[in-house]
Amino acid sequence: MNNYSGKNHIRFAVVDLDRSKEYPVNFVCILPKQIKENSGKHTQFERKFGDDSLDLAEKLLNHSLKAENDWEVKEEIRQRLEVLKQKPQKNTRKKRSYFRSF
């Protein structure tokens, strides 16, 4: 069993109220912490919303920031907005060379 005492783990779900007013019927996906540009692995959120992912994530978080009352959740929203304001991360993994010089 995991011990999560000491720090809260906050996840944001994207829901579509036009689908239903009840969760989980209106569940779309989890909002990722980061949106990576040109990465081979895309989150479900990025696959669903494509090129609009970054703008939509900012819009959803800004709306939530105005509506939220819990200070811990508001702080997490602010942190995520800061990450999104930075230039989207590119996949910078370098290929390793397996050839040796003799």
pLDDT digits (tens, 9 = 90+) for 44-87: 999 999 889 999 999 999 999 999 999 999 999 999 999 998 86
Answer yes or no: is 83 within a domain. Answer: yes
- Residue 89 pLDDT > 80, yes or no? no
pLDDT digits (tens, 9 = 90+) for 1-51: 455 556 678 899 999 999 999 988 989 999 998 887 666 668 999 999 988
**Residue 38 located in a structural domain:** yes
Instruction: Say if 94 falls within a structural domain.
Output: no
Q: Is residue 74 part of a domain?
A: yes
Beta strands in the chain (DSSP E): 12-15, 27-31, 36-37, 89-90
Q: What is the pLDDT of residue 67?
A: 95
In a domain, 64, yes or no: yes
Q: Distance between CA atoms of 16 and 7, rounded to whole angstroms?
A: 29
Report the b/e string of 15-50 with b at 16+ CB within 10 A: beeeeeeeeeeeeeeebbeebbeebeeebebbeebe
Residue 7 lies in a domain: no
Dihedral of the alpha carbons of 41, 42, 47, 50, in degrees to the nearest 10: -120
- pLDDT above 90 coverage of the chain, percent: 51
The reply to whether 69 falls in a domain is yes
pTM over 0.75: no
